[in-house]
Structure formats: structure tokens, C-alpha cells
């Protein structure tokens, strides 16, 4: 079982792996990418072309009539290919050690299939997509520029999955919004994510943007460091009541010594924060 304990989230796009909704409320098409681009659209192009990008985003509102295939699996129409896909997903899900959630959406035709599409799942690092969406919205609106330089403060740096903490943990580092976005989306850098979370206006602004684009099943509530601390059993840690680097390191060392027992955290698994349907 993976580090999220009781649930497995699988997000799969038939057409392509990465798409970010920009301020114009539409997904970028190949035709649009061929013409003049806003800075945020250019960044999306770079992200889509990167061979190391492991980002999967499905932000489309599924409003078409559904055809029930089983209690858990639904498809948009009676296309035999969709039914075959749904059958294969169901077959694979039988072997999973948790609850499987799948959403596949074909951007060109609007066809889709879901498994447990109404159930909430922890987003893990896919929650970085809504953060990027809000940042790029701010760029399109003129509130930010991709070239804006951001000072990396000592309190921003903690022991986590991050090139910043691995390589750039001494004072005096500045990174552009563009660099931070690439770190967050291309290598899932947690420190870059937390910095962008704050710049984006926090949980309310990010989740509000999801509602605006029709993805109201997505909610973002916490920074990465708060989310991980909660997963490790520190329920007292919040965005406002943060845990600092030395204490965070001690928490991780204790968890390692205990064989990652915190990964089976029933309260965390049931928490609706930072989840999506």
C-alpha cells in the first residue's frame, strides 16, 4: 500500500497528461499554441513538452448525461471503446489494496469514463495543479509576472522532497515565479509549492479559482509542510500554526524510526481537506 494508506488515486487523461486551465477558462489547444501566446500559455507549453513532467490534471466539468456501466463505473455514451476501457479499469481495480478512483476525459470529443467519480480522494501532489492555475491566472490578470523574483527565506526551507532544500538552503537565493512553477510542476518540489501557495493567496483564493473554472469538486486547504505534518499525526499543525525546520526534522526522524506507522492514519485518510472527486 502506498504512503497515502487507504486510498489510491489514479488520474488518467486519454488525450495528454498535462493541461492547466488559464484565465480564459479553456484548455490550451494545439491550434492556439501555434499563435501568439501569453506568458502563462507559453509556460504551459513548456510544461507539456517536458519529458520529466509527471503532472496529471483533469479540470473539466463533466455535465453530459451518464450511462451506468456498473455501480462504480460510468461512461459518457455507449461507445464500445469506452466500455472496453471501463471494463479493463474495473478488472485492474479488483487487485488494488485500496479504493480506486479513475477519471479519463478525451478533450477532442468530450467522451469520458469514471470509477468512483463522486467519491473524494486525497490529491497528494496533484493538488499542485490548482496552485499553478491560480498563479497563472494572476499572471494573465497582470498581478504577477513570470519574471518576478522571489526571495527564498530561511523559514521557507525544511527537510522535504525539494531541490531547494537539497542544493540551495543557504541565505541569498532568489528564484523567479517561472522557476518556482517549473520546480513545482516538473519535479514536484514541495518548498516551491509552499512559496507559490502563499503568493497565490492561500487556500481560499486557490479553491475559489477551481469553483470559477467549474472544478468545484477540488479543494486546496494546506501547505505541503502542514499536510505532511498532519499525515504524520501532528493534528495541531495548520497553515497558521506552522512547524519549523528543526521540529519538522525530528518528526520525520521519529516516523522513520517507527517504520512509517503514521502512513496508516485513519483520521488523516478521512479528512476532506486537499481532496478532489
Cα separation, 167 vs 7, whole angstroms? 33
Say if 21 falls within a structural domain: no
Domain co-membership, 89 together with 187:
no
Domain co-membership, 141 together with 109:
no
Domain co-membership, 92 together with 71:
yes
Mean pLDDT of 55-67: 34
179 or 11, which is more confident:
179
Cα separation, 250 vs 196, whole angstroms? 25
pLDDT of residue 245: 76
Cα separation, 218 vs 274, whole angstroms? 8
Using alpha carbons only, what angle is made at residue 53 by residues 239 and 12, rounded to the nearest 5 degrees? Answer: 85
Residue range 226-243, pLDDT digits in tens: 888 888 888 888 888 887
Say if 18 falls within a structural domain: no
Among 90, 122, 154, the domain-final residue is 122
Average pLDDT, the chain: 75
pLDDT of residue 260: 61
Domain co-membership, 158 together with 210:
yes
Domain co-membership, 142 together with 205:
yes
Mean pLDDT of 117-130: 91
Cα separation, 68 vs 113, whole angstroms? 10
Cα separation, 12 vs 106, whole angstroms? 10
Say if 108 falls within a structural domain: yes
Cβ within 8 Å of residue 273, ≥6 positions away:
219, 221, 222, 227, 230
211 or 225, which is more confident:
211
Domain co-membership, 66 together with 148:
no
Domain co-membership, 127 together with 172:
yes
pLDDT of residue 44: 44
Pairing assessment for the beta strands 99-105 and 7-11 based on DSSP bridges: parallel
Domain of residue 179 covers 30-55+123-276
Domain co-membership, 134 together with 94:
no
Domain co-membership, 94 together with 214:
no
Q: Return the sign of the alpha-carbon dihedral for residues 70, 71, 72, 78.
A: positive
260 or 54, which is more confident:
260
Among 86, 105, 122, the domain-final residue is 122
Residue count of the chain, please give it: 277
Domain co-membership, 47 together with 135:
yes
DSSP H/E element including 176 = strand 173-176
Among 92, 122, 152, the domain-final residue is 122
Domain co-membership, 248 together with 147:
yes
Cα separation, 170 vs 152, whole angstroms? 9
Say if 213 falls within a structural domain: yes
Residue 132 pLDDT greater than 90, yes or no: yes
Number of domains in the chain: 2
Domain co-membership, 173 together with 272:
yes
Say if 42 falls within a structural domain: yes
Task: Tell me the pTM.
Answer: 0.71
pLDDT of residue 177: 98
Amino acid at each position: 500500500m502506498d504512503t497515502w494508506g487507504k486510498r489510491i488515486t489514479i488520474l488518467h487523461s486519454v488525450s495528454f497528461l498535462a493541461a492547466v486551465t488559464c484565465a480564459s477558462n479553456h484548455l490550451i489547444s494545439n491550434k492556439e499554441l501555434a499563435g501568439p501566446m501569453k506568458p502563462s500559455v507559453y509556460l504551459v507549453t513548456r510544461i507539456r513538452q517536458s519529458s520529466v513532467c509527471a503532472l496529471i490534471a483533469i479540470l473539466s466539468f463533466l455535465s453530459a448525461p451518464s450511462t451506468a456501466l456498473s455501480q462504480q463505473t460510468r461512461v459518457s455514451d455507449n461507445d464500445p471503446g469506452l466500455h472496453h476501457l471501463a471494463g479493463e479499469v474495473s478488472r485492474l481495480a479488483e487487485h488494488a489494496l485500496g479504493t480506486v478512483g479513475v477519471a479519463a476525459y478525451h478533450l477532442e470529443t468530450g467522451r469520458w469514463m469514471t470509477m468512483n467519480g463522486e467519491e473524494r480522494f486525497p490529491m497528494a501532489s496533484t493538488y499542485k495543479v490548482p496552485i499553478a492555475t491560480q498563479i497563472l491566472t494572476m499572471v494573465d490578470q497582470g498581478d504577477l509576472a513570470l519574471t518576478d523574483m522571489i526571495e527564498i527565506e530561511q523559514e521557507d526551507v525544511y527537510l522535504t522532497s525539494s531541490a531547494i532544500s537539497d542544493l540551495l538552503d543557504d541565505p541569498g537565493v532568489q528564484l523567479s515565479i517561472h522557476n518556482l512553477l517549473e520546480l513545482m510542476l516538473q519535479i514536484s518540489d514541495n518548498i516551491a509549492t509552499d512559496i507559490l501557495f502563499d503568493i497565490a493567496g492561500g487556500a481560499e483564493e486557490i479553491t475559489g479559482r477551481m469553483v470559477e473554472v467549474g472544478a468545484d469538486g477540488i479543494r486546496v486547504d494546506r501547505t505541503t509542510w502542514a499536510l505532511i505534518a498532519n499525515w504524520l499525526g501532528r493534528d495541531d499543525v495548520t497553515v497558521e500554526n506552522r512547524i519549523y525546520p528543526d521540529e519538522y526534522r525530528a518528526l520525520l526522524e521519529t516516523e522513520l524510526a517507527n517504520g512509517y506507522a503514521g502512513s496508516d492514519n485513519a483520521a488523516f485518510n478521512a479528512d476532506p481537506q486537499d481532496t478532489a472527486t
